């Protein structure tokens, strides 16, 4: 387990190895503000750091992280919309060119959804209603593969939930307009923790492709 002292030591290494050699870049970012071209919506999972996975420099990515990398549908009721507010800021203020929804294998949020967490009298909380955003993905997977293994259905739901979030992004009027004008592009990515593979969603064929080798034999549409 990483201690606070280890984190502080890590900061000292960052200062020595990253900040000092790139002081001009950091000063420019401080004085001129940020101009990232990509918004990345990823999971809070400690094993999946978007900046590390993409080897990005400071200022390259505007990152939103939440449980299960979910995007809620557009709505104006209620008071607290952290993810939606960040999406709005990235698109309308920073004017990013791309939005990536980055899912991953062994996702705890999707695992909770598959276990129907919050539907069995666990009490009030925040996780259960949040993961219900991806309920259409779970329902689709259970309908298409009712006899598949738990591992298969978990993996299928992780990927299908990325499509749900992409569809939800299109319910935001300002996003739909920009996408239809060709000024904004949406991508769905899936990272395999165990294999180090990164796959991209093809909406035309409704399947994921390995970013290097093309269609994967392990695609959720071909496995079962």
- How do residues 58-101 score in pLDDT, each as one tens digit? 999 999 999 999 999 999 988 889 999 999 999 999 999 999 99
Cα separations in angstroms, 216 against 160, 162, 164, 197, 199: 15, 17, 21, 10, 8
Tokens of 133: 């955003």
The mean pLDDT of 189-196, rounded to a whole number, is 96
Q: What percent of the chain has a predicted confidence (pLDDT) above 90? A: 85
Match 């899912």 to its residue by tokens.
103
* pLDDT for residue 211: 84
Question: Count of CB atoms within 10 A of residue 196's CB?
Answer: 8
Residue 18: which residues within 8 A CB-CB, separation 6 or more?
A: none
Match 């002292």 to its residue by tokens.
5
**Residues for the chain: how many in total?**
224
pLDDT reading at 122 higher than 80:
no
Distance of CA 163 to the CA centre of its chain: 11
Helix (H) or strand (E) holding 129: helix 127-131
How far apart are alpha carbons 224 and 133 in whole angstroms? 25
* pLDDT for residue 123: 59
The mean pLDDT of 159-176, rounded to a whole number, is 98
How does the average pLDDT of the chain come out, rounded? Answer: 92
The domains of the chain, with CATH numbers, are: 1-33 (no CATH), 36-215 (3.40.1050.10)
Give the max Cα distance, the chain: 57
The mean pLDDT of 50-60, rounded to a whole number, is 96
């Amino acid at each position: 387990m990483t201690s606070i002292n280890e984190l502080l030591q890590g900061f000292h290494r960052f200062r020595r190895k990253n900040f000092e050699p790139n002081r001009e870049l950091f000063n420019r970012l401080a004085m001129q503000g940020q101009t990232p071209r990509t918004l990345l919506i990823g999971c809070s999972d400690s094993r999946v750091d978007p900046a590390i996975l993409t080897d990005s420099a400071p200022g390259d990515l505007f990152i939103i992280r939440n449980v299960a990398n979910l995007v809620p549908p557009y709505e104006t009721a209620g008071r607290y919309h952290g993810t939606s507010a960040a999406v709005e800021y990235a698109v309308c203020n920073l004017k990013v060119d791309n939005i990536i929804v980055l899912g991953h294998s062994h996702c705890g949020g999707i695992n909770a959804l598959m276990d129907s967490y919050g539907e069995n009298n666990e009490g009030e909380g925040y996780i259960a209603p949040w993961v219900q955003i991806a309920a259409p993905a779970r329902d689709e997977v259970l309908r298409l593969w009712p006899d598949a293994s738990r591992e298969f259905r978990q993996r299928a739901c992780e990927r299908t939930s990325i499509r749900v979030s992409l569809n939800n992004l299109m319910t935001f009027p300002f996003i739909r307009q920009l996408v239809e004008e060709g000024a904004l592009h949406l991508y769905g990515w899936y990272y395999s923790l165990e294999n180090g593979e990164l796959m991209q969603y093809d909406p035309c064929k409704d399947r994921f492709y390995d970013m290097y080798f093309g269609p994967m034999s392990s695609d959720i549409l071909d496995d079962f």
